[in-house]
Amino acid sequence: MKEQNPEVLLRVENLVKHFPIKQGIILMKTIGAVHAVDDVSFNIHKGETLGLVGESGCGKSTTGRTILQLYRPTSGHVYYNDQDLVAMKGEELRKMRRKMQMIFQDPYASLNPRMTVGEIIGEPLMIHKLANRRQMEERVEHLLELVGLSGKFSNRFPHEFSGGQRQRIGVARALALNPDLIICDEPISALDVSIQAQVVNLLEDLQKEFELTYLFIAHDLSMVRHISDRVAVMYLGIIVELASRYDLYHDPLHPYTQALLSAVPIPDPLVEEKRKRVVLVGDVPTPVNPPSGCRFRTRCPIAEEICKELKPEWREVKPDHFVACHLIKEII
């Protein structure tokens, strides 16, 4: 594990993002809301990788996009170097976006098919007026070589590349403005397993070379364990557990985290045979009408009456290990 830097680069406080549900053609009356992200708080230290895991639809990608203000939050704050992004608008926010970039999940949908690779990677430089045409071409060639592609590919179009190559182009675009923070929104989920390892190794090499900070969003627990320093577990719009990689995988405290990890196969038949599995009953509740109290109580094997009545407090139950659960006692 990399040495922890105490300097906090990003601080998320009580972040909420609800998407209104409209009804009607003319009046468009609001009849409800999708509770995509509900009261999420965490820090990311400079130079670290924070993994964000959970089931599909739990709000991971929405959290990443709301942090970058691609979605404006319903409430809450996002502090980047102690500057509140939520309070920023227009030109002020546009300048801050130079320091924060995103690698999108789908390498086929995130690249404009009408633009050449050179235009795609160079576009951020032109928008922020950081280079003339010649400087842009030189920068694009350098970035392509940095991510393991030939600089001569700049005149080609996205359809001429494989999925892994397209994702490398997405990484090059994210690096164009020399950002400090990159949000990786499931950057390997659409790729073949052999290509996944190449892209993850590339991200690790770039992090060491440029001192990058990552929020790595994924549902592949094994890959998150490999790349992350700390891991946050998300369920139905809330974070239920946050700890160091070692603590989370060796001593998961929240029942949902235990269930997730019990589903990951271990490549040892003897250990696998003796391992206790946690099987969750029922389906994930709808984010339109989430359960009262604890969000996880409808599927939790140890839920009690208090879980129905009160929302669990986000607590530090042992050093740097946070859990949202009524039934977990503090460990000294």
CATH of residue 147's domain is: 3.40.50.300
Q: Is residue 94 part of a domain?
A: yes
Q: Is residue 214 part of a domain?
A: yes
Q: Is the pLDDT of residue 2 over 70?
A: no
Q: Which pLDDT value is given to residue 191?
A: 82
Question: Structure tokens of 109?
Answer: 């949908």
What is the rounded radius of gyration, in angstroms, for the C-alpha atoms of the chain? 21
Q: Are strands 181-185 and 100-103 parallel, antiparallel or unpaired?
A: parallel
Q: Is residue 296 part of a domain?
A: yes
- pLDDT tens for each residue of 245-281: 999 999 999 999 999 988 777 776 776 677 777 778 8
User: Whole-model pTM above 0.75?
Assistant: yes
Q: Which of 260, 163, 166, 171 minimizes the C-alpha distance to 207?
A: 171
Work out how many domains the chain is built from and give that number. 1
- pLDDT tens for each residue of 13-45: 999 999 999 887 777 788 889 999 999 999 999
Domain assignment of residue 41, given as a range:
8-324
Q: Is the pLDDT of residue 93 over 50?
A: yes
Q: Which pLDDT value is given to residue 331?
A: 56
- pLDDT tens for each residue of 116-169: 999 999 999 988 888 888 999 999 999 999 998 998 899 999 999 998 899 999
Give the Cα separation of 218 and 220 in Å (integer). 6
